[in-house]
């Protein structure tokens, strides 16, 4: 006999603290995530997510999801994020994700990429709150773990953020992350946290506010100003992976992170996109931790280094400092 999945309220969110690392495609693959998790205690960093796993023509098999989860385990949960619009394939992939060990499944309603919009997935679904509700319901009915949803504040504007939040809640989401920018706003520097507050007032499930967290203090400021129970950081953690604890690190410690990142990718034979130095440079584009990048001119010196091995050798020299 199969029993009905538990209600969203009966599914306990597994986060160890109310501060989360955002899913970031091309960045938060297992090597980077593992290093961030290894440097932030569970009371500072409450959990994170895989990059989005795109559900296309067929359900994504368990082995592929397992690759996204990666080999390491930490006290903090790593949710598997899915993006798609086909209810059955999403439901089947969510079951595969749970079988692969996912402690929660997150649904992407925010991706602004042309491919996602053309395929009516990610932020394209923000134009139709009923579709958001259907997608969440299909996945929440398919698995017993918490199912969470991550939306932007809207497609062209934020006028329907309450409606979108309620759609996710009614579909059975156990938590709703609101990235306060609309799809049209992309990744603009300005943020309007009142949109998070509006979503938080519209629903009774926990809301996680996201967008524009740049310092450790911003986590609490966002929660205080919006009523969101959790806060999530994306690029701020690429600038400073220690943002969760607010600990200031030395140049040596900062460089050691990047060197370990390069070594881990080599050890696991895994550096999707561009090679190891390119991945390190991707972080250096944002990096502020430890004053390793002294100013914008210095950043360009790092980024213009054509010889990947020379770049890594310079980092190794700095990493030898205390």
Ligand X SMILES: Cc1cc2nc3c(=O)[nH]c(=O)nc-3n(C[C@H](O)[C@H](O)[C@H](O)COP(=O)(O)O)c2cc1C
- Quick one: which H or E segment has residue 208? strand 207-210
Q: Taking CB under 6 A as the criterion, which residues in 232-251 touch ligand X?
A: 233-236
Among 30, 39, 44, 51, binds ligand X (CB under 6 A): 51
Which of these segments, 68-76, 195-203, 227-235, 243-251, binds ligand X (CB under 6 A)?
227-235
Among 96, 108, 123, 254, binds ligand X (CB under 6 A): 108
- Residue 24 contacts ligand X per CB under 6 A: yes
Which of these segments, 24-32, 55-63, 141-149, 248-256, binds ligand X (CB under 6 A)?
24-32
Q: Taking CB under 6 A as the criterion, which residues in 250-269 touch ligand X?
A: none
Question: Which pairs count as long-range contacts for 233-237, CB under 8 Å and 24+ apart, including other chains?
Answer: 233/19, 233/20, 233/21, 233/22, 234/21, 234/22, 234/24, 234/210, 235/24, 235/187, 235/286, 237/21, 237/22, 237/36
- Residue 52 contacts ligand X per CB under 6 A: yes
- Quick one: which H or E segment has residue 105? strand 105-109
- Residue 179 contacts ligand X per CB under 6 A: yes
Residue 111 catalytic? yes
- Residue 136 contacts ligand X per CB under 6 A: no
Among 11, 13, 18, 27, binds ligand X (CB under 6 A): 27
C-beta closer to ligand X: residue 211 or 318: 211
C-alpha 192: how far from chain center:
20
Residues 177, 81: Cα–Cα separation, whole Å: 12
Residues 40, 35: Cα–Cα separation, whole Å: 9
- Residue 196 contacts ligand X per CB under 6 A: no
H runs (alpha helix) in 141-275: 161-171, 194-202, 216-226, 235-239, 251-267
Residues binding ligand X (CB under 6 A): 22-27, 51-52, 81, 108, 110, 150, 179, 210-213, 233-236
């Amino acid at each position: 006999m199969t029993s009905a999945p538990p209600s969203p309220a009966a599914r306990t969110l597994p986060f160890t603290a109310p501060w989360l690392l955002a899913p970031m495609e091309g960045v938060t693959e297992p090597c980077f995530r593992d290093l961030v998790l290894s440097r932030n205690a569970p009371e500072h960093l409450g959990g994170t997510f895989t990059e989005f796993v795109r559900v296309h023509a067929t359900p994504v098999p368990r082995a592929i999801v397992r690759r996204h989860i990666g080999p390491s385990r930490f006290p903090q949960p790593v949710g598997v994020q899915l993006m798609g619009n086909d209810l059955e394939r999403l439901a089947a992939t969510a079951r595969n994700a749970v079988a692969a060990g996912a402690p929660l499944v997150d649904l992407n309603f925010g991706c602004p990429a042309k491919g996602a919009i053309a395929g009516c997935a990610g932020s394209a679904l923000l134009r139709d709150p009923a579709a958001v509700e259907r997608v969440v319901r299909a996945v929440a009915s398919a698995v017993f773990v918490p199912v969470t949803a991550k939306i932007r504040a809207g497609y062209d504007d934020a006028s329907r953020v309450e409606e979108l939040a309620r759609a996710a809640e009614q579909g059975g989401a156990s938590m709703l992350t609101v990235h306060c920018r609309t799809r049209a706003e992309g990744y603009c520097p300005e943020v309007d946290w009142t949109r998070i507050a509006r979503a938080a007032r519209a629903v009774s499930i926990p809301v996680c506010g996201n967008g524009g967290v740049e310092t450790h203090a911003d986590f609490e400021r966002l929660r205080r100003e919006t009523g969101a129970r959790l806060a999530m950081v994306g690029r701020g953690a690429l600038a400073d992976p220690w943002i969760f604890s607010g600990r200031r690190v030395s140049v040596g410690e900062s460089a050691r992170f990047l060197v370990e990142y390069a070594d881990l990718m080599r050890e696991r034979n895994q550096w999707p996109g561009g090679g190891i130095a390119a991945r390190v440079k991707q972080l250096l584009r944002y990096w502020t931790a430890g004053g390793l990048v002294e100013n914008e001119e210095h950043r360009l010196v790092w980024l213009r280094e054509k010889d990947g091995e020379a770049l890594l050798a310079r980092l190794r020299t700095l990493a030898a400092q205390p």
